[in-house]
Amino acid sequence: MKMLTMDTSTLVMGIAVLDLEEKRVLGEVTTNLHKNHSVRLMPTVDQLLRDLDLAMSEIGVLAVTAGPGSYTGIRIGVTTAKTISWACGIPLYSESSLTVLAMNGYHFDGVVVPLFDARRRRVYSGVFQRDGEKMSEVVPQQVVEIESWLKQIGELRRPVLFLGDDVARFQDVIAGSLGDAAHFGSPAENIPRASQLGILAWHKWINDEPPEHADFAPNYLQMTEAEANWLKKQGNGETSNGEKG
């Protein structure tokens, strides 16, 4: 049984193919570029399958990251995965992009904090620790102001590994708040891996967890800007065309 996984929730675009029976990564492509995932995703999938001498008909399971991260990137990945799942009749599993990134800290003896910038000094983040062959949440995933988040993390009184390219934007405030308890990932560890997504989805598959339903939707952890603006207009008594109701 072969699994195809894809992650487009950040600047990183990752695609991997795993052999679930042998629990082996057959191939993986990872890029970290300011380029349009919608243009590059399917050609990259096609090329990886060609390199592995596989046809889409040989893929039995799909997995995709459901967010949080870039609204546009998440929509591209989820929409593409749902389309393939529907067209080919393949079960689809999803996983949080933060959990996938946290897997890079699997061997860290402490807690792992993956982090994406959510703007205005807020972050998408969560706290994880090793649990068997996967990572489990210690503190739930959320959108939170960085200073408040570091206070919560400090109360755990444990060594902390921060992961993600966006950590560099907050490294000074992290070090100032947590001191020697704060550790930072290497450049390679800061990149989410589609193969790690595959490992997480593999656990769901072997445990007979149900795949996603047809109405499966991304998990942004917060409203999109368009949704927030719409609700703000409703609160001001405005109609959809901006006129007062």
Query: Which candidate, 188, 195, 216, 205, places its Cα nearest to that of 67?
Result: 216
Position 165 scores a pLDDT of 97
Number of other residues whose CB lies within 10 A of the CB of residue 22: 9
135-180 pLDDT per residue, tens: 999 999 999 999 999 999 999 999 999 999 999 999 999 999 999 9
Q: Which residue has the tokens 């897997």?
A: 103
Going along the chain from its start, the domains and CATH numbers come out as 2-97+192-223 (3.30.420.40), 98-184 (3.30.420.200)
31-81 pLDDT per residue, tens: 999 889 999 999 999 999 999 999 999 999 999 999 999 999 999 999 999
Position 69 scores a pLDDT of 94
Position 226 scores a pLDDT of 42
Name the pTM for this structure.
0.90
10-33 pLDDT per residue, tens: 999 999 999 999 999 999 999 999
Helix (H) or strand (E) holding 77: helix 71-88
Position 236 scores a pLDDT of 55
